[in-house]
Amino acid sequence: MLNFRLMAPQLWCILTISACQAQPEAASSHFTLANFDQKILTYEPAQRPAVTDKNYRRAVFYLSETRSATKNDPANLNAGDYWNITMAFLKLQEPQEHIALAFQKAITDDPEAICSYIAHLGKASLDEAIPELFLPFYGRCAERTTSREDFDLTEYLAGGNFDPQLINILYRIQKKDQRYRKGEQEMSRQGPLDRENQATIDSLYNIHGAYIGTSSVGPELEYVMWAVIQHSNRTMMERYLPVVAEAVRTGELSNNAPLKMLLDRIHWLKNGTQLFGSQVDVDLASDEEIRRIKEKYGLN
């Protein structure tokens, strides 16, 4: 499960969507734009006949984690939460109107964050479930990616007390990390760039002895070191796991989503299961294992 809690919200068109029940259920499942935030935090979905036990458990987990992250306060819901709810609705085979409403709220709250999720996780079948809403947004994500070519390093450096050398190095790493990653047919060309980035990150860590995060490179580049680790191999992931955990604790990473994603990737490579739901089509670990990891890393 993801919850970046990133970036300032931006205005986006809001669709007023009323939900039509696919089958008789509790009144709490009738979501509208007006009641969505209040009702979702108390929603206890029924398991539809076509929903597998695996998907039902995953969806209930997403909703439970959302309640925990928001402390059951609708005012705390953000784009990451709405994304998780959208994923839960897909697993539950909710009516199309429900899925569209959850996704609309996500992209209304923070379109940049949702573009980031899609870049990391893929389309998640949203292009099939809600094509009329998803595909135009997906196209705008591509436009935003192109516009990032205009990122002004000089202006960014002037905006904070950052290390100019590190800014330039991490900016180049970021460009290489994403150069071929969006095209599956070009991933073979991405591998050598990833290995170059990994070697650079190792060198930087040997010099600085800590995660290179927001205090050194600011919010625009604080995730670069983590992204290289996330795209590496299990050995490197496990070596840097304590470093990423410490970065979250000290605020060098401004939220715990990168740590959750790294734990999920490592756990999947080791055990074939995940803990927080960030890996597509991977089973969840046992409730006991999830509780243990949460306690170990302070993620309760």
pLDDT in tens, 51-105: 999 999 999 999 999 998 899 999 999 998 999 999 999 999 999 999 999 999 9
What pLDDT does 178 receive?
Answer: 83
DSSP states along 89-115: HHHHT--HHHHHHHHHHHHHH-HHHHH
251-300 tens-digit pLDDT: 999 888 899 999 999 999 999 999 988 887 889 999 999 999 999 999 87
What pLDDT does 18 receive?
Answer: 33
221-260 tens-digit pLDDT: 999 999 999 999 999 999 999 999 999 999 999 888 899 9
Contact 11, 80 (CB under 8 A): no
236 Cβ partners below 8 Å, 6+ apart?
Answer: 198, 229
- Assessment of whether the complete model's pTM goes beyond 0.75: no
Question: Which tokens is 288 given?
Answer: 């006991």
Buried b (16+ CB within 10 A) or exposed e, 60-72: bbbbebbeebbee
What pLDDT does 216 receive?
Answer: 92
Question: Which tokens is 68 given?
Answer: 């925990």
pLDDT at 148 over 70: no
The domains of the chain are located at 27-147, 151-255
What pLDDT does 160 receive?
Answer: 77
